[in-house]
Amino acid sequence: MSPLAGKAALITGGSRGIGAATVLRLARDGADVAFTYTSSHEQAEALAGQVRELGRTAIPLKADSADPAQVRGAVSEGAERLGRLDILVNSAAVMIPGTIDRLSVADIDQTFDLNVRAVILTVQEALRHLPDGGRIIVLGSNVADYTPFPGMALYASSKSALHGLVRGLARELGPRGINAVLVQPGPTDTDANPADGPQAHRMRDLTPLGRYGRPDDIASMIAHLAGDGGRHITGTTITIDGGLNT
């Protein structure tokens, strides 16, 4: 039997990069999936088509994670159309680079609205649907623990907030058997951070394994945590960065 057969998952920011890899991996493992996207309807539908070819249900949901009403509405609609919700993966995020003296109030608000507030609101809404034994997996970043270059303080601080959130969720939700885990990718080859980008060589030089990760590397860990392998893992952080933070 597929490890996630009979399960339903919702992934925010699921139309590209790590989010899209997660959508496909959970579907391959037997889950029906709903996922949010912000702008590209064609890209979202193409991904949904790949999921349906695997014989699983796919529900793309257009939603801006910075808008509280849209965040809540996407979770509610996804759970309703799937008929249940067992797994929540928060992948949507934004990074606005810039040294601290150059950041605007709008930059700060946008970063925390999307990277922190949206996660909290998504969890709040998901708890109306998650059964005992459900899973909450939040995507952070290794820069919360190790910020290698100037210009990342705002992003790092927003991702650092997720440490406390996940630990608190584990304490609050443990009596229901709901697990909450923070997964921190390091440099990962996506459209937003390509392995052949202009600064990629600097990151590879700092990484013991000497390479970028692949979205599938992160999705594999998420699938593990969503299945039986994650049964006794909660309130902790798992960093997948090729050793960069060592």
**Which residue numbers are catalytic?**
155
**Total residue length of the chain:** 246
Nearest residue to 244 via CA among 123, 113, 149 = 149
Compute the distance between CA of residue 140 and CA of residue 158 in angstroms, rounded to an integer. Answer: 9
Burial class (CB in 10 A: 0-12, 13-18, 19+), 93: buried
CA–CA distances in Å: residue 84 to residues 29, 80, 142: 17, 7, 32
**10 Å Cβ neighbour count for 66?**
19
Compute the distance between CA of residue 89 and CA of residue 10 in angstroms, rounded to an integer. Answer: 6
Residue type, 133: G
Strand partners for 239: 184
Taking a C-beta distance cutoff of 8 angstroms, is the pair 26, 218 a contact?
A: no
H or E element that contains 203: helix 200-206
Write the CB contacts of 238 (distance below 8 Å, at least 6 apart in sequence): 181, 182, 183, 184, 221, 225
